[in-house]
Amino acid sequence: KANAQLERLRQSGAAGVEPRSLNDAVLGTVESPGKFRTIRRSWDAAAEGQVFCDVEGGEGGTLEVRRTEQLVVHQLPGGAEQTWRVVEMWGRDPFTPAGMEAPVEPVVVPLKVNGDSSHEPAPRAKQEKAKKAEASSSGDEEEDDDKS
């Protein structure tokens, strides 16, 4: 029964309509941050060599980089929106032109010391820090170094 339904869809031409209208794949190159040129594009052989997106030049829509979510939102000139998931980004941000970068918020990451996940230094590190502070306030820092 399912095979018969698939065959009817294939014969009507409906089977190929959805993937073309809802899916796209673009292989390209970054010419400069925010400017991308197409090498190959699914469903469009004529796209080779065309500018896919140029943020500064206003061609191909706009890009919004959401670093914390690891997403890039591409607003197309016609109003459609594409969301790209960034798997890895090495070095400079290729999506944002120089001078347009948003400030990056610092991230607090708890340290693991001796299996303990906390922000506090280990007890020995605390003791050494306190000892150094005492020595520097009393002026005996050099003598303490000679004794050890």
pLDDT value for 129: 60
What are the domain boundaries of the chain?
A: 2-85, 111-147
pLDDT value for 38: 92
pLDDT value for 148: 47
Q: Which residues of the chain have pLDDT under 50?
A: 106-107, 117-122, 141-144, 148
pLDDT value for 39: 93
Place of tokens 């925010």: 34
pLDDT value for 37: 92
Residue 139 CB-density burial (10 A; 0-12 exposed, 13-18 middle, 19+ buried): exposed
In the sheet that 81-85 helps form, which strands lie side by side, from edge to edge?
62-66, 71-75, 81-85
pLDDT value for 91: 73
Distant-in-sequence, close-in-space partners of 66: CB < 8 Å, separation ≥ 6: 72, 73
Specify the 3-state DSSP secondary structure of 66: strand
pLDDT value for 55: 87
pTM, entire model: 0.50
